[in-house]
Structure 1
Amino acid sequence: MKCLNPVAMMLLVSTTLISTTFNVYSAPALSEPVLMARSSAIATKISALKKSNQRWIEIDLSSQRLTAWQGKTPYYAVIVSTGKDLTPTLTGVFEIQSKLRTARMQGDDYDIPDVPYTMFYSGSYAIHGAYWHRSFGTPISHGCVNVAVDHAKRLFDWASVGTPVIVRE
């Protein structure tokens, strides 16, 4: 992966992450066998989650839709904006690693303070509120999953650290 900007510090206050700055990385091209293995792992994980009563999040890149599930029951669905062709959203099986009420997002061509309701699920990749655009349904991000702020708050309040996140084509 190619780092597009330098690493920044996390602030920890009374064991609660308050704000941070994160890098955005470009993903390397994957071979056909790797893509097939990833697709199989995604299908297997979705099948297992639908047989459970666990909360989980599915992001469908082809429809630009995020669905929050509890087992096989959809809880909430929203239109999102995922990564552009040059800065794609990674597919795979992940889980929420951390949650921040606000974060700063920076890259070579952007610097956005106070990004609300940020849930990191793979390094610097996150589901978060986007107050700077209304183009949901169109891939326009630098790899993150952009959600309208009110929807992002609802998802942030519903999900916890460890909630599985499935990103598929």
Structure 2
Amino acid sequence: MFRYVLAIVAGLAIVPFQTAIAGATTLMAQVDLSRQEMVVTHRGQVKYRWKVSTGRGSYRTPTGSYSPKWLSKYHKSRKYNNAPMPYAIFFRGGYAVHGTNEISRLGRPASHGCVRLDPKNAATLFSLVEREGFNNTRIIITQ
């Protein structure tokens, strides 16, 4: 699962460090639409269980397995009146996992298709994605 690589640090020393082999998933965010819950697994250990809000009515959250495509820490929706989308992790077109200021609606469908989290939880996930990298992160959304 991991390999050791020798790296030259500041041109002076050679030190080993661990790097994930290409394609190894070290971070998984699994969203269960029926339970309105996200389970975050990091390096094989369940680290967090958070309430989410996903697509309501005809606004469906896409199911499937995705890698993050891009990040935006202070994103605002161009489509929905500049609605704040802090710590946005875009995974398919305009769909993202992001923080919301409508915390009281977490635990039930309320979005236009995105996966909403408490902003503190979104910040935690955002930081993990930055650290682990897009290729080592999977966002899995199931019914």
* Alpha-carbon distance in structure 2 between the residues aligned to 1:143 and 1:71: 28
Residue 41 of structure 2, aligned match among 41, 44, 69:
69
Q: Is the 8 A contact 2:26 2:43 kept in 1?
A: yes
Residue 116 of structure 2, aligned match among 120, 141, 146:
146
| Structure 1 residue matching 2:81: 3-state secondary structure | strand
Tell me the equivalent position of 1:93. Answer: 65
| Structure 1 residue matching 2:77: 3-state secondary structure | strand
* Alpha-carbon distance in structure 2 between the residues aligned to 1:53 and 1:104: 29
TM-score by length of 1: 0.63
Q: Is the 8 A contact 1:53 1:72 kept in 2?
A: no
TM-aligned CA deviation for residue 53 of structure 1: 6.4
| Structure 2 residue matching 1:112: 3-state secondary structure | coil
Q: Percent identity?
A: 28
Q: CA RMSD in A?
A: 1.7
TM-aligned CA deviation for residue 56 of structure 1: 1.2
TM-score by length of 2: 0.74
| Structure 2 residue matching 1:85: 3-state secondary structure | coil
The answer to whether 1:168 aligns with 2:106 is no
Greater C-alpha radius of gyration: 2
TM-aligned CA deviation for residue 55 of structure 1: 1.3
Amino acid at match of 1:145: V
Q: Report how many residues are paired.
A: 116
TM-aligned CA deviation for residue 133 of structure 1: 4.6
| Structure 2 residue matching 1:120: 3-state secondary structure | strand
**Superposition pairs for residues 8-87 of structure 1, below 5 Å?**
54-87=26-59
TM-aligned CA deviation for residue 167 of structure 1: 0.4
Q: Mark the runs of 5 or more structure 2 residues left unpaired by the alignment.
A: 1-23
The answer to whether 1:112 aligns with 2:82 is yes
